[in-house]
C-alpha cells in the first residue's frame, strides 16, 4: 500500500465518546451482549435504556408459581411481577404463570378470579410496549380473557408459543379464532398433572376443551414444530384426535411432531377393532402420508388407551424421512418396527423404542427381530427398552442384527445371552457408549466376568454402564484397569445395587464413574 | 495494477490498489460511479471521504490490507447472525491491532467502518465495545465510557426495578 499522506502519531488520544455513535450503531454493538449485560446497560443512561429496550433478548416472568404443573421444574416458578412491567419494557420472551394475587389463598381463587381479578390488578389490561419484539410466549396457568387478548394482540413476530392447558380455562372461544401468527415456528401444548385430585374440579374439561379445539382450528404457515399432550379428563378423545389430525393435515411444513397420551381415566379398550376404528386408523395414515417429518415422538404411557395407541402407531408407519423416531408404547407390533426401519433406513439416526408390556396374552411383548434394523446404516443412537419380561425367550437382540454405525447403544429389560452380550461390546466398530440395564444376571443371561475383563483390556468404548446385569461372582477387590503407571493400580469396582459404571480417562484407561445422566446425547455427534 | 486515490477529510491522500479498495462497499460503489462518468477508462479515480480523518482512514486501509484475502461477508446479513461472524473473524492480528487504541479512536473506527461498509471491521470493533460492557457494573461502565448518568430523581432506581424481572437468556 502506498500512502503519500502525512500521518500524525497513531496513538493520539481521541476526545470522542460512545455518544457519537448513532442509535443504530449502538444497537449493533449491544447485539453482542447477553441478557444480563443488556439489563446492566439499560441502567447506564437514558439513551442506552431506550436502545436496549427496543432490542430482542429480554425475558420476563409474570404471575404466580403454578399449582397445576410440577413444582420441580424451574420454568414453572414465577416470582409475581407487576403486569405493567411489560408495558414499560421491551420484552422478547414472556412467561406467564397463574395469575392470582399474592398473600391470598390461591387454589380456589384461581378459578374464581376471572370475576374477581379487577380487585387485584386494576382495570388496565397489560400490553406489550413493543409487540413486534415478542418472539416467545408461555402461558403456564389460567389467565383472564382480556389479559390474554391484549397480550397476544399484534405480536406479529411471534415464533414460539407454549400453553399449559389450564391457561385456556378462563378464555373465550372467540379470542382463539383466527390468530394470524405468520411466523410461528413452534407450538407446544401441555396437559400433564391434570388427572390428579383437586385440579379436575377447578379446571373442568368442559371449559377447556372447546378452547383447545378452537385454537387448533388455526393455520400457521411457518409451523415446523408441534408438541401435543392429550388433556386430562378427556371424555371425547375422538373429537380431540380428529382435530389434531386435521391440524396436522393443514400444516405440511411440520418437521417435528410429538404426541403424548398419558391420560388414563377412561378405558377405551372395549369392542376393539370395530369398523369405526379401522376408519379412524385409515384417517391417521392418510394424514401421516402427507407429512415429511424428521422427528417423530409417540408416547402412549397409559395401558388403557388401546385405540389411541393403535392409531398413533399406524401414524408412525407412514413416515419415510425420519431422522429421529421415539416410540414409547405398549403393543408395538413387530411389523411397525420393521416398517419404520424399512421406510426410513436412509435417514434414521436416532431410534428409541420402549415398550410397556401387559400381562395378558393380547398385550404380550413382541420379539424384536433386528434384521430390518441392520439396514439403517446411518443409525447412531439406538435404545431398546422392555419391562422385565419373562426370561423364557432369549436372543431377542444380537450384535449382527444391529447396524455397524451405532455409536450409542442402550438396552434395558430384555434378556441377553452371554455370547450376545459379549458381541455387543466387540462387534460394533463405532460404539462409544453402551448402557445395559436388567439384561439378566442368572444362568445363561447377562454379562460374564470374562466379558467385562476383555472390555477393560480392550479400552475401546468410552463409557460403559451396566446395571443389575453381571452374571457371576464379581472380584471383591475389583478388576484392575491395566494402568501400571499408577500405584496402587486402579480397579473397576461393582458399586452398591449392582451398579457398574466406568469410562475412559485422559490417559486412556478406565476409571470408575460417578453417577451421571445416561442421556448425553450429541456428545459423539459429528 | 489499477490504483485509486482516497483522500481523507483533512486532505491526506492514500494511494491504494482498486482491488483492495473494492473490499469496502462504499469505495466500490464510488469507483464504479467514477468509471461510468469518466470518458478515459485509464484515468485514476479520486475519492474524497469528507467524514473520516487521515489517522482513522489509515487504520481502515491497514485493516483492509491485512484482510484482503478473506472472503467478503455479505453486508445485508441478518443482524442477529453478527455474533458468529465476529467471533470467527477475530484473529490475533486483529487483537494486536485494536489493543493500543483508546475508546475514542474505536468509536471513530466504528463510524468509519460503517460509512465505508467494511463489515468485518465493524464487527470486531463492536465486539470490542461489547467486551467493555460485559461483566461490569453500571458505574464501571460509566467510568469506562466517560458517561454521566442523566436519570433524574428516582428514574434510575425505577429502571433497575424494571430490570429485576428480566433474566439472563
Average pLDDT over residues A424-450: 90
CB contacts under 8 A, B 60-99 vs A, are: 61-62, 65, 79-80, 82-83, 86
- End-to-end Cα distance, chain A: 43
- The percentage of chain A sitting over the pLDDT mark of 70, rounded to a whole number, equals 76
B169 belongs to a structural domain: no
**Shortest Cα distance, chain A CAs vs residue B39, angstroms:** 26
The shortest CB-CB distance from A34 to any of B12, B134, B155 is to B134
Least confident of A93-107, A132-146, B26-40: A93-107
The shortest CB-CB distance from B111 to any of A20, A40, A60 is to A20
d(CA A353, CA A347): 17
> Which residues of chain B neighbour A35 with C-beta distances below 8 Å?
166-169
Write the DSSP assignment of B109-158 as a string of letters: HHHHHHHTT-HHHHHHHHHHHHHHHTT--HHHHHHHHT------TTHHHH
Nearest CA in chain A to B109: A21
- Contact (CB<8Å) B105/A7: no
Average pLDDT over residues A18-47: 85
B163 belongs to a structural domain: no
- Contact (CB<8Å) A81/B79: no
Nearest CA in chain B to A85: B162
Does residue A194 surpass a pLDDT of 70?
no
CB contacts under 8 A, B 26-45 vs A, are: none
Cβ-based neighbours of A286, under 8 Å, separated by 6 or more: none
Does residue A382 surpass a pLDDT of 60?
yes
Residue that is written with C-alpha cell 441478557 in the block: A35
- Contact (CB<8Å) A43/B156: yes
Asked if the C-beta of B150 comes within 8 angstroms of chain A's C-beta atoms, the answer is: yes
d(CA A451, CA A133): 59
Task: State residue A239's pLDDT score.
Answer: 86
Averaged pLDDT of chain B: 81
Average pLDDT over residues B108-134: 91
- A1 band by pLDDT with thresholds 50, 70 and 90: very low
Number of other residues whose CB lies within 10 A of the CB of residue A25:
21
Per mean pLDDT, which of A33-37, A201-205, A408-412 is the most reliable?
A408-412
Does residue A245 surpass a pLDDT of 90?
yes
More confident residue, B44 or B52: B52
Average pLDDT over residues A204-232: 89
Average pLDDT over residues B69-94: 57
Q: What share of chain A is helix, strand, coil (3-state, %, to 5)?
A: 30, 20, 50
Q: What is this structure's pTM?
A: 0.73
Nearest CA in chain B to A6: B12
- Contact (CB<8Å) B169/A42: no
Average pLDDT over residues B24-34: 89
Does residue A21 surpass a pLDDT of 80?
yes
Per mean pLDDT, which of A123-127, A206-210, A490-494, B151-155 is the most reliable?
A490-494
More confident residue, A365 or A38: A38
Average pLDDT over residues A149-177: 88
Least confident of A490-494, B89-93, B135-139: B89-93
Neighbour-count burial of A477, counting CB atoms closer than 10 A to its CB (0-12 exposed, 13-18 middle, 19+ buried): exposed
> Which residues of chain A neighbour B168 with C-beta distances below 8 Å?
34-36, 59
Give the helix/strand (H/E) hosting A501.
strand A499-504
More confident residue, A57 or A315: A315
Number of folded domains that form chain B: 1
Q: Which of B101, B7, B46 is nearest to A3 (CA)?
A: B7
A373-to-A269, A318, A402, B88 alpha-carbon distances in Å: 31, 17, 6, 40
Least confident of A90-104, A183-197, A280-294, B104-118: A90-104
Cβ-based neighbours of A372, under 8 Å, separated by 6 or more: A337, A338, A341, A342
Task: State residue B135's pLDDT score.
Answer: 86
**Shortest Cα distance, chain A CAs vs residue B165, angstroms:** 6
CATH code of the domain in which B98 resides: 3.30.710.10
Q: To probe the interface with A, which of B122, B159, B160 has the most A CB atoms within 10 Å?
A: B159
B168 belongs to a structural domain: no
- A132 band by pLDDT with thresholds 50, 70 and 90: confident
**Shortest Cα distance, chain A CAs vs residue B86, angstroms:** 9
The shortest CB-CB distance from A46 to any of B14, B151, B165 is to B151
Nearest CA in chain B to A88: B162
Task: State residue A414's pLDDT score.
Answer: 79
Domain span at residue B149 reads 3-70+78-153
Asked if the C-beta of B59 comes within 8 angstroms of chain A's C-beta atoms, the answer is: yes
Does residue A11 surpass a pLDDT of 80?
no
Asked if the C-beta of B19 comes within 8 angstroms of chain A's C-beta atoms, the answer is: no
The shortest CB-CB distance from B130 to any of A3, A32, A61 is to A32
Does residue A456 surpass a pLDDT of 50?
yes
Average pLDDT over residues B29-50: 83
The answer to whether A175 and A214 are in contact (CB under 8 A) is: no
Verify cis geometry, omega within 30 degrees of 0, for the bond prior to A488: yes
The answer to whether A93 and A60 are in contact (CB under 8 A) is: yes
Does residue A325 surpass a pLDDT of 90?
yes
Q: What is the pLDDT of residues A345-377, one digit of tens each?
A: 899 999 998 876 544 344 344 455 567 788 888
The answer to whether A347 and A322 are in contact (CB under 8 A) is: yes
**Shortest Cα distance, chain A CAs vs residue B157, angstroms:** 9
Task: State residue A209's pLDDT score.
Answer: 87
Does residue A196 surpass a pLDDT of 80?
no
Asked if the C-beta of B145 comes within 8 angstroms of chain A's C-beta atoms, the answer is: yes
Task: State residue A332's pLDDT score.
Answer: 75
Least confident of A83-92, A120-129, A323-332, A364-373: A364-373
Write the DSSP assignment of A123-175 as a string of letters: SPPP--SSGGG--EEEE-S---HHHHHHHHTT-TT--EEEEEGGGGGG--GGG
The answer to whether B128 and B145 are in contact (CB under 8 A) is: no
Give the helix/strand (H/E) hosting A336.
helix A334-344
Average pLDDT over residues B144-164: 77
Per mean pLDDT, which of A58-67, A102-111, A322-331 is the most reliable?
A322-331
Per mean pLDDT, which of A74-88, A317-331, A353-367 is the most reliable?
A317-331
Least confident of A32-46, A307-321, A511-525, B118-132: A511-525
B64 belongs to a structural domain: yes
d(CA B74, CA A496): 59
d(CA A319, CA A295): 10
B16 belongs to a structural domain: yes
Residue that is written with C-alpha cell 390428579 in the block: A196
Does residue B12 surpass a pLDDT of 80?
yes
Q: Per residue in A189-203, is it b (16+ CB within 10 Å) or e — as a string?
A: bbbbbbbeeebeebb
Nearest CA in chain B to A63: B165
Does residue A307 surpass a pLDDT of 60?
yes
- A228 band by pLDDT with thresholds 50, 70 and 90: very high
Task: Report the interhelical angle of B82-89 vs B119-133 (nearest 10°).
Answer: 100
ipTM score of complex: 0.84
Q: Which of A448, A515, A434 is nearest to A479 (CA)?
A: A448
Averaged pLDDT of chain A: 79
B51 belongs to a structural domain: yes
Task: State residue A520's pLDDT score.
Answer: 43
Amino acid at each position: 500500500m502506498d500512502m503519500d499522506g502525512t500521518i500524525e502519531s497513531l496513538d493520539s488520544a481521541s476526545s470522542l465518546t460512545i455518544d457519537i455513535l448513532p442509535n443504530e450503531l449502538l444497537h449493533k454493538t449491544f447485539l453482542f451482549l447477553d441478557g444480563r449485560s443488556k439489563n446492566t446497560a439499560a441502567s447506564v443512561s437514558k439513551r442506552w435504556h431506550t436502545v436496549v429496550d427496543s432490542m430482542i433478548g429480554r425475558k420476563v416472568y409474570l404471575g404466580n408459581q403454578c399449582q397445576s404443573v410440577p413444582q420441580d421444574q424451574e420454568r414453572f416458578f414465577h416470582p409475581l411481577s407487576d403486569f405493567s412491567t411489560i408495558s414499560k419494557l421491551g420484552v422478547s420472551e414472556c412467561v406467564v404463570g397463574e395469575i392470582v394475587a399474592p398473600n391470598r389463598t390461591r387454589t380456589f381463587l384461581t378459578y374464581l378470579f376471572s370475576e374477581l381479578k379487577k380487585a387485584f390488578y386494576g382495570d388496565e389490561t397489560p400490553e406489550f410496549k413493543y409487540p413486534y419484539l415478542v418472539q416467545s410466549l408461555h402461558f403456564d396457568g389460567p389467565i383472564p380473557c382480556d389479559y390474554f387478548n391484549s397480550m397476544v394482540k399484534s405480536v406479529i413476530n411471534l415464533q414460539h408459543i407454549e400453553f399449559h392447558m389450564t391457561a385456556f380455562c378462563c378464555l373465550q372461544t372467540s379470542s382463539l379464532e383466527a390468530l394470524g401468527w405468520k411466523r410461528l415456528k413452534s407450538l407446544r401444548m401441555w396437559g400433564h398433572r391434570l388427572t390428579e385430585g383437586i385440579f379436575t374440579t377447578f379446571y373442568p374439561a368442559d371449559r377447556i376443551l372447546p378452547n383447545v379445539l378452537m385454537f387448533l382450528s388455526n393455520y400457521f404457515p411457518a409451523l415446523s414444530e408441534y408438541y401435543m399432550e392429550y388433556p386430562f379428563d378427556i371424555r371425547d378423545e375422538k373429537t380431540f384426535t380428529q382435530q389434531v389430525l386435521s391440524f396436522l393435515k393443514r400444516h405440511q411444513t411440520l418437521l417435528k411432531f410429538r404426541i403424548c397420551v398419558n391420560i388414563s381415566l377412561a378405558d377405551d379398550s372395549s369392542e376393539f377393532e370395530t369398523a369405526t376404528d379401522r376408519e379412524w386408523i385409515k384417517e391417521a395414515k392418510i394424514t401421516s402420508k402427507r407429512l415429511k417429518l424428521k422427528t417423530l415422538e409417540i408416547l402412549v404411557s397409559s395401558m388403557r388407551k388401546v385405540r389411541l395407541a393403535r392409531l398413533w402407531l399406524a401414524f408412525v408407519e407412514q413416515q419415510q424421512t425420519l431422522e429421529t423416531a421415539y416410540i414409547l408404547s405398549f403393543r408395538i407390533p413387530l411389523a411397525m418396527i420393521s416398517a419404520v426401519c424399512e421406510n426410513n433406513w436412509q435417514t434414521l439416526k436416532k431410534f428409541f423404542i420402549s415398550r410397556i408390556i401387559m400381562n395378558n396374552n393380547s398385550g404380550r411383548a413382541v420379539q424384536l427381530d433386528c434384521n430390518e434394523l441392520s439396514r439403517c446404516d446411518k443409525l447412531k443412537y439406538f435404545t431398546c427398552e422392555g419391562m422385565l419380561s419373562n426370561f423364557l425367550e432369549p436372543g431377542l437382540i444380537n450384535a449382527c442384527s444391529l447396524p455397524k454405525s451405532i455409536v450409542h447403544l442402550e438396552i434395558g429389560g430384555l434378556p441377553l445371552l452371554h455370547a450376545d452380550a459379549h458381541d455387543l461390546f466387540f462387534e460394533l466398530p463405532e460404539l462409544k457408549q453402551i448402557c445395559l440395564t436388567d439384561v439378566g444376571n442368572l444362568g445363561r443371561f447377562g454379562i460374564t466376568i470374562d466379558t467385562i475383563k476383555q472390555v477393560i483390556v480392550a479400552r475401546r468404548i468410552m463409557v460403559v454402564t451396566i446395571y443389575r446385569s453381571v452374571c457371576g461372582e464379581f472380584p471383591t477387590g475389583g478388576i484392575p484397569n491395566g494402568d501400571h503407571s499408577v500405584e496402587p493400580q486402579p480397579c473397576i469396582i461393582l458399586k452398591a445395587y449392582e451398579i457398574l459404571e466406568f469410562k475412559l480417562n485422559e490417559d486412556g484407561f478406565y476409571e470408575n464413574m460417578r453417577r451421571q445422566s445416561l442421556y448425553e446425547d450429541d456428545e459423539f455427534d459429528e | 495494477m489499477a490504483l485509486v486515490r482516497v483522500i481523507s477529510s483533512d486532505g491526506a491522500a492514500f494511494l491504494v490498489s482498486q482491488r483492495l479498495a473494492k473490499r469496502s462497499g462504499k469505495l466500490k460503489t464510488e469507483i464504479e460511479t467514477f468509471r461510468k462518468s469518466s470518458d478515459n477508462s485509464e484515468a485514476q479515480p479520486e475519492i474524497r471521504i469528507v467524514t473520516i480523518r487521515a489517522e482513522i482512514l489509515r487504520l481502515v486501509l491497514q485493516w483492509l490490507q491485512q484482510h484482503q484475502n478473506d472472503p467478503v461477508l455479505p453486508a445485508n446479513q441478518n443482524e442477529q447472525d453478527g455474533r458468529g461472524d465476529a467471533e470467527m473473524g477475530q484473529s490475533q492480528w486483529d487483537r494486536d491491532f485494536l489493543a493500543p487504541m483508546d475508546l475514542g479512536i474505536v468509536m471513530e473506527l466504528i463510524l468509519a467502518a460503517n460509512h465505508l461498509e467494511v463489515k468485518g471491521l465493524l464487527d470486531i470493533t463492536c465486539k470490542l465495545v461489547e467486551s467493555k460492557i460485559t461483566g461490569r457494573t453500571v458505574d464501571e461502565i460509566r467510568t469506562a465510557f466517560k458517561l454521566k448518568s442523566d436519570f433524574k430523581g428516582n428514574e434510575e432506581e425505577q429502571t433497575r426495578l424494571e430490570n429485576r424481572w428480566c433474566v439472563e437468556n
